[in-house]
Amino acid sequence: MFKNMIVYRISEAWQPDLAQLDEALAKQLFEECGATQEKSVGWVPPRGEDNGAMVESVGSQWMMRLMSESKMLPASVLNRKLNDKLVQIEAKEGRKPGKKEKQELKDECKLDLLPMAFTKQGGLWVWIDPQARLLVLDTSSQGRADEVVTMLVEASPGFAVALIDTQTSPQAAMAAWLHSHDAPAGFSIDRECELKSADESKAVVRYARHPLDIDEIREHIDQGKMPTKLAMTWDDRVSFVLTEGLQLKKVALLDVVMEGQSQDDAGFDADVAIATGEFSQLIPDLIQALGGEGRTELGQLPDRGDRGDAKGTASGANSATAAEKGAGQGTGATQANNAPGNDFSRRAAGGGAHTGPKQAPVDEDPATAPF
């Protein structure tokens, strides 16, 4: 059900009201793109039933589904039609259109082509755990996540969220685990990782289907390359790729999770119960492995770059613990810890929070994008 996860902490001030949220989302129903409409976004019943509830509660876990449709209009097609119009004007009137007129002609060409363009649809799962106060989005794109948060903020009074902020940044922790050849308790390191250099060279080293407990990786870290992705498995039940921004990609439930499940258990309710049951244990264990939650308060709006610019600290071999937090860089920057003795850990940082939409770099990894 979830292939990617971006996790938020929901404000304690928000009062969960299933009926109110269901009614509000019903006012933002998904509709297919009109003839000249480039994109359409809205909510659909999670069960896929006509006139069904917009918010489904299964075992006190709330599930929603956001749909998106966009028109596929290649730039080359648009430019070719525009150039044809420009040539016609120059031949008939003996002049070249100016910059403003070119833009107007381009808009006209787009309106002419949109009704003939192909459409692409995609769905995104949204999970709210009211008791644990977690919001989990099935996307690897922070831009899409901001879009969902915006719609939820508009739909539910008092709704505010912050990206999960940990005492130890994921990048520093991943560096410590790889450097020590030791994963935190309950987790194992798999056979995929990516390391990037922070200097001008921007060197990148990727390992795929390769053992990571090798001295070569330790040497890369000592030379300044820091992990940006690391494949891991939790409790032999869920595999995923952890990123430097605390996103989970390529999430997969392993066979052991499905053992003992009969065909009678198939269906929406069973899928939700299994997925949320596993992830509701994975998420706190991962936060604990990163030293516990940080101290960023809801309402602060740190710059997105703070995750990579502030100073962070690495955890020990089996756990990510931290001492006092030092000041981060940038407005409202997330603070992170500095632990003595872990020189390479100070090159990374973590944290970040917001209460609504905020422009951010978009992850366009085609292997993981849900849309």
The amino acid sitting at 66 is L
186-214: pLDDT as tens digits: 999 999 999 999 888 889 999 999 999 99
SS (H, E, C) 106-132: HHHHHHHHHHHCEEEEEEEEEEEECCC
CA-to-CA distance for 118 and 73, rounded, in angstroms?
Answer: 7
Confidence band of 94 (pLDDT split at 50, 70, 90): confident
pLDDT-derived band at 13 (thresholds 50, 70, 90) equals: very high
Identify the weakest region by mean pLDDT among 40-44, 56-60, 88-92, 265-269: 265-269
Burial of 74 (0-12, 13-18, 19+ CB in 10 A): exposed
What are the strands of the beta sheet with 248-253, ordered from one edge?
A: 204-208, 187-197, 225-234, 238-243, 248-253
pLDDT in tens, 315-355: 333 333 333 333 333 333 333 333 333 444 434 443 344 44
Domain boundaries, the chain: 6-70+118-160, 75-116, 170-347
User: Closest Cα to residue 170, out of 227, 237, 238, 218?
Assistant: 227
Amino acid at 168: T
8 A C-beta contact, residue 275 and residue 283 = no
Distance CA 305, CA 198 (A): 13
| Of 262, 261, 246, 247, nearest in space to 2 by CA | 247
Residue listed under structure tokens 């259109």: 97
At 172, is the secondary structure helix, strand, or coil? helix
CB 254 within 8 A of CB 237: yes
Average pLDDT score over the chain: 82
pTM value is: 0.74
How far apart, in whole angstroms, are the C-alpha atoms of residue 217 and residue 203?
A: 14
* pLDDT of 296 higher than 60: no
Angle at 58 between CA 56 and CA 60, to 5 degrees: 100
Q: Could you give the CA distance from residue 194 to residue 192 in angstroms, rounded to a whole number?
A: 7
What amino acid is encoded at 311 in this protein? K
Contact 304, 352 (CB under 8 A): yes
What is the distance between the alpha carbons of residues 87 and 270, in angstroms, rounded to a whole number?
A: 61
Query: Rounded to 5 degrees, what are φ and ψ at 192?
Result: -150, 135
